Amino acid sequence: MAAEHGPRGLNLDARKHCEAVGDFVTKNIFEEFLTDEDGHIDFFETQLDLIAKLGEEKYVQLNASKMDEAEWLPARGTRHGVCRTGSNIHRGPIWRPR
């Protein structure tokens, strides 16, 4: 999780600096980065919580599905998407079936 929280802290600092110097265009870019990082952190925390509650074996079974059974949807405010397979949500590049 430190790998996800580290960039978030840097983006927060950069956003605050941009606001202090009046660079609101760059501040908005860092806000987009923060939204993306928050999504990553939420995803990983959810997955770790599921592993803790279900155990590794059930977690793997729950997340095993064929790619053609997955449904990819654009994620709001990002260039990535979310994949819904059953009750799980996976984040990644947008993929659309043919």
Better-scored residue on pLDDT, 63 or 28: 28
H helix intervals, 1-98: 2-21, 24-54, 56-63
Kindly state the percentage of the chain with pLDDT values over 90. 23
State the residue for tokens 């994620």: 75
Better-scored residue on pLDDT, 74 or 32: 32
Mean pLDDT calculated for residue range 49-69: 79
Phi/psi of residue 24, each to 5°? -80, -20
For the chain, list the domains and their CATH numbers: 1-64 (1.20.1260.10), 67-98 (no CATH)
Euclidean distance between CA atoms 64 and 60, whole angstroms = 6
Q: pTM of the prediction?
A: 0.53
